[in-house]
Amino acid sequence: MKLLTIIGARPQFIKAAAVSRAIAKTPGLQEILVHTGQHFDANMSDVFFEEMDIPRPDHQLAIHSLSHGAMTGRMLEEIEKILMQERPDCVLVYGDTNSTLAGALAAKKLHLKVAHVEAGLRSFNLRMPEEVNRILTDRISDFLFCPTDAAVHNLDLEGFANFPCRIEQVGDVMQDAALFYLPKSEQQSAILDTLGLQKGEFFLATIHRAENTDDPLRLAQIVASLNRLAQESPVVFPVHPRTRARLAEQGLSASVRTLDPVGYLDMIQLIAGSRMVITDSGGLQKEAYFFQKYCLTLRPETEWIELVTHGFNRLSEPDPEQVMEAVHYFSRLSFPDASGLYGGGRASEAICNILSEAG
């Protein structure tokens, strides 16, 4: 089976690093890699290919810094050309970005099979561009690889049993990546020493969702919250390029340890060494759990609902009082020995077995 994988944004590089490794090991599977260029900075793209041994893309587009419609449209046009040239048996897409939707749509219109990794997730908030991308991608996918039972349940509720598709709960490929790269991160990353950080004595924060960065009031509250947290313990804040731009536009600056985005090996050390994670990232909510850290999510909802129901994650408004209350609540707890929510690191293998049997 000839697979064509479409990636373009940071979390997709991390997911594809795990799955591409499994594809290379599975007899009968061949992979062509397409990078749309949605994320293009050295520290948002190249670093992951280098550190994580992701194969060099066979096709490299440079489609970025456009509005949602323009970006998705350009990708659709360019991906279609590649698909007509490569004629894969199946197109593999990840997550919920414009690259995901454009890849799935281009493939389906050419009657090619589509496999969606991280299918079935829902925030039930259609104002999020990611939610639109996921719903549409799921609906036209042939293989829906769900990371959680909640994701399978969401598809059941939407009537997917009536559609000609295959739904499989395989676990989360991000756990595969976290487990695989932990030893490498321990050997190669010196970020805690470089920043002079003591294990367990700093907060790790990331913010990049448009609902937070593009709402001046919320962004100002987030900065105020980070500043309040910093009065208690150092706050390490690797800043996404969009967030950096919005902070500058609003004339805001957090008096915390701001960094440029870091590579995955450094990120693992920061998560595993932190006291707690404060984020609006999807991936980071789970990685906090993988490394047994409590997580405060500055959003009104989450797709990773099992983390909230099991008490590992709390949702909070960005208001400093609420943030401090939640942080103090978690500070009184010790993280239980738990790791079973996301399949235990065998998701990529499961995906490849299913695809190779189907091919």
Give the binding site for ligand UDP (CB under 6 A).
10-11, 14, 206, 208, 238, 261-264, 267, 281-284, 287
Q: How far is the CB of 265 from ligand UDP (least distance, A)?
A: 8
Q: How far is the CB of 202 from ligand UDP (least distance, A)?
A: 15
Q: How far is the CB of 15 from ligand UDP (least distance, A)?
A: 8
Which CB atom, from 36 or from 281, has the smaller least distance to ligand UDP?
A: 281
For this structure, is 208 an active site residue?
A: yes
Distance (Å, rounded) from C-alpha 233 to C-alpha 334? 18
Residue 23 · residue 31 · CB < 8 Å: yes
Which CB atom, from 191 or from 323, has the smaller least distance to ligand UDP?
A: 191
CA 308 to chain centre: 18
Which CB atom, from 160 or from 181, has the smaller least distance to ligand UDP?
A: 181
Q: How far is the CB of 79 from ligand UDP (least distance, A)?
A: 20
The string of DSSP letters for 258-310 reads EE----HHHHHHHHHH-SEEEE--HHHHHHHHHTT--EEE-SS--S-HHHHHT
Tokens of 266: 């450094």
Which CB atom, from 234 or from 263, has the smaller least distance to ligand UDP?
A: 263
Query: Residue 340 carries which DSSP code?
Result: G
Distance (Å, rounded) from C-alpha 141 to C-alpha 327? 40
Which CB atom, from 308 or from 358, has the smaller least distance to ligand UDP?
A: 308
Phi, psi of 232 (to 5 degrees): -100, -45
Q: How far is the CB of 62 from ligand UDP (least distance, A)?
A: 19
Distance (Å, rounded) from C-alpha 241 to C-alpha 249? 12
Choice among 35, 39, 208, 240 that is catalytic: 208
Element (H, E) at 15: helix 10-25
For residues 295-320, one letter each, b for 16 or more C-beta atoms within 10 angstroms of the residue's C-beta and e for the rest, the string is bbbbbeebbbbbbbeeebbbbbebeb
Q: Catalytic site residues?
A: 208
